[in-house]
Amino acid sequence: MVEVTVTPQSSLSDRPVQIRVRGLSPSQLVTLRAWLKDEQGECFQSRAFFRADGAGEVDPGLHAALGGSYSGVWPMGLFWFLQPDTLFRRLVKRDVAGSPFRVRLEVFDGLCLGTDPRQQPLGSCEAERWYVGPGVQRVPIREGRVRGALFLPP
């Protein structure tokens, strides 16, 4: 059974996480895909192709991506290289304190270039990426023509 894990599962968006895939065949070629829907329902995704090591594992922090959205060793590459399905869209978080981005991580057998809904992933998991930590207070600022927000730690 193929298992995809992200550690920690819930974290602040500027904190690194570790992605691991276990249970593959040694030297198996796989596609690791990350995707999310923003607050407007727009889909952003990235993918990278990997060859499993001798133990049947893939770790983007140790193993080089062979291609896809990036190549080489980028531990956070699947998060950094998220691209919109619709051109000229930007990934922006409006409700920074109320909810996280939920990033879905999936692993597919072989090279998977499209998003065929009939193709089932070998394994998947979900990561929460928060923009504001627990207990942080958001104070709106309105002074003359200045508008903004002050975030106060607990």
Average pLDDT of the segment spanning 17-35? 97
Q: Cα dist. 41→22, 26, 83, 127 in Å?
A: 31, 37, 14, 18
115 pLDDT exceeds 70? Answer: no
Q: 3-state SS of the chain: helix, strand, coil percent to 5?
A: 5, 45, 55
Q: Which two tokens stand for residue 55?
A: 């133990």
Cα–chain center distance at 21: 14
Backbone φ, ψ for residue 79 (5° rounding): -85, -40
Q: Poorest-confidence range of 22-26, 50-54, 112-116?
A: 112-116
Which residues are within 8 A (CB) of 117 and not within 5 positions of it... i.e. 6 or more apart? none
CA-closest candidate to residue 12, choices 139, 70, 126, 97: 97
Distance, in Å, from the CA atom of 30 to the CA atom of 67, rounded to the nearest integer, reads 11
| Residue 79 host element (H or E) | helix 77-80
Asked if omega into 140 is within 30° of 0 (cis), the reply is no
What tens digit of pLDDT does each residue of 31-83 get?
999 999 999 999 999 999 999 999 999 999 999 999 999 999 999 999 999 99
116 pLDDT exceeds 90? Answer: no
Structurally, how many domains does the chain consist of? 1
What tens digit of pLDDT does each residue of 122-151 get?
999 999 999 999 899 999 999 999 999 999
With contact defined as beta carbons under 8 Å apart, do 19 and 4 qualify?
A: yes
The whole-model pTM stands at 0.88
- What pLDDT, on a 0 to 100 scale, did the predictor assign at position 113? 84
89 pLDDT exceeds 70? Answer: yes
Residue 118 belongs to what domain range?
3-152
**Where residue 24 sits, what CATH number does that domain have?**
2.60.40.2240
Backbone φ, ψ for residue 78 (5° rounding): -65, -30
- What pLDDT, on a 0 to 100 scale, did the predictor assign at position 22? 98
The DSSP secondary-structure symbol of 8 reads S
97 pLDDT exceeds 90? Answer: no
